[in-house]
Amino acid sequence: MIIVLKPTATEADAQEILADIERLGLKPLHMPGVERVVIGALGDERVLRELNLASHPAVESLKPILTPYKLVGRELHPHDSVVNVGNVPIGGQRFVVIAGPCAVETPEQLLAAAQAVKANGAHLMRGGAFKPRSSPYSFQGHGEDGLKMLKSVSEQTGLPVVSEIVDGHDVDLMEPYVAAYQVGARNMHNFTLLKALGRTRKPVILKRGLAATIEEFLLAAEYIVAAGNENVILCERGIRTFETATRNTLDLNAVAYIKWKSHLPVLVDPSHGTGVRELVIPLARAAAAVGADGIIVEVHPDPRKALSDGHQSLYPHEFAALMASIKPFVEAAGKVLA
Ligand code: PEP
Ligand code: MN
């Protein structure tokens, strides 16, 4: 419920209502504005009836929050959120580019990838140290050794690093190595992991599950924010459909829909979204044009030798072509490629 207080309401009125909300077992939110105080009550709104807020002398109006995702929706929070990853703000006017290999393989591979993406204007680098693979026989990543390589390359290039977390017990282990945690598509429904990430303040890039609806995706983000971490960035990375020509179907509807309904920044991953190297540049442009806040792209210095996702990784010269051609699409959507 959104409770708007009258301009004449006092601080004591606000505190009394906040305490009543808490007493009933709902989560109270205090949002003092310039002219009016707005109070949020999150939880089962039916129990609020006993407070008879409609006839409270300090209350101007009551509005139920209609969406099930209350904290990440725009009803309580109409303005776009900006989440800082390292020194890079994501959301708002800027279009950010995160690029790097699917997996951390060797120090040389990682440094070459980072230098190539940095030289062409990437803002952040990516690289998986923990790889949740569909097959137990595929390369699973180098774990903490991979995180050390990421940290070293980040220090050498100045690019903040994002890397995937697959286990809630690794939150503290990863904390000193990464600027943001990435939650992969296969873990979007891992509620224990989401709650563990809610206990940190470090940003989380949450990828959409392979078969998750938009509502399920936003509710997964709600888990993190409800557990205390507001620094969530969403990432559309393609969903499973009947189509087999591409690895996934990149759902650009979802980007426009989520930008409409949620204040969180939204990234697009055209690499996993298509699974086809030749389609990464066109879909990166489409992501910019539809109003995404950035992209996360796989780039490898030698994709033929990649231990994972080489088929969809760009060569450095292709990444250069992407960066050289995306600007008009970013600007058409009213953003800047800073
Ligand atoms: C990845 O980013 O390399 C990855 C595994 O992505 P997703 O979780 O979207 O499949
Ligand atoms: Mn990958």
Give the model confidence (pLDDT) of 156-166 as tens digits.
999 999 999 99
Of ligand 1's listed atoms, the one at least distance from the Cα of 207 is 9
pLDDT confidence of residue 125: 98
Kindly state whether residues 132 and 52 are assigned to the same domain.
no
d(CA 117, CA 122): 5
pLDDT confidence of residue 262: 98
**In this structure, is residue 74 part of a structural domain?**
no
Kindly state whether residues 110 and 39 are assigned to the same domain.
no
pLDDT band at residue 266 using 50, 70 and 90 as cut-offs: very high
For residue 185, give the ligand nearest its CA. 1
Of ligand 1's listed atoms, the one at least distance from the Cα of 103 is 3
Q: Round the average pLDDT of the chain to a whole number and report it.
A: 96
Of ligand 1's listed atoms, the one at least distance from the Cα of 237 is 9
**In this structure, is residue 70 part of a structural domain?**
no
**In this structure, is residue 338 part of a structural domain?**
no
- Summarised one tens digit per residue, pLDDT across range 239-252 is 999 999 999 999 99
Kindly state whether residues 235 and 124 are assigned to the same domain.
yes
Instruction: Kindly state the helix (H) or strand (E) to which residue 29 belongs, with its residue range.
Output: strand 27-32
Residues having CB closer than 6 A to ligand 1 are 102, 128, 184-186, 207, 237, 269, 272
pLDDT confidence of residue 255: 98
Which residue minimizes the CA distance to atom 5 of ligand 1? 184
For residue 30, what is the DSSP state?
E
d(CA 199, CA 228): 6
Kindly state whether residues 88 and 220 are assigned to the same domain.
yes
pLDDT band at residue 169 using 50, 70 and 90 as cut-offs: very high
Kindly state whether residues 121 and 54 are assigned to the same domain.
no
Of ligand 1's listed atoms, the one at least distance from the Cα of 308 is 3
Kindly state whether residues 296 and 180 are assigned to the same domain.
yes
Which residue minimizes the CA distance to atom 8 of ligand 1? 184
Which residue minimizes the CA distance to atom 10 of ligand 1? 185
pLDDT score of 34 more than 90: no
CA 232 to chain centre: 5
Kindly state whether residues 45 and 128 are assigned to the same domain.
no
d(CA 335, CA 293): 8
pLDDT score of 114 more than 90: yes
pLDDT confidence of residue 338: 81
Note down the domain range covering 28.
Answer: 2-63
Kindly state whether residues 50 and 197 are assigned to the same domain.
no
* pTM, rounded to two decimals: 0.95
pLDDT band at residue 66 using 50, 70 and 90 as cut-offs: confident
Residue 132 CA to ligand 1 centre (angstroms): 8
For residue 195, what is the DSSP state?
H
- Kindly report the CATH number assigned to the domain that includes residue 53: 3.30.70.1140
Asked whether 12 and 57 are in contact (CB, 8 A), the reply is no
**In this structure, is residue 302 part of a structural domain?**
yes
User: What is the Cβ-side half-sphere exposure of residue 27, based on CA atoms within 13 angstroms?
Assistant: 8
Asked whether 300 and 310 are in contact (CB, 8 A), the reply is yes
Which of 35, 63, 91 is the last residue in one of the domains? Answer: 63
For residue 310, give the ligand nearest its CA. 2
Cα separations (Å) of 60 from 5, 57, 322? 5, 8, 52
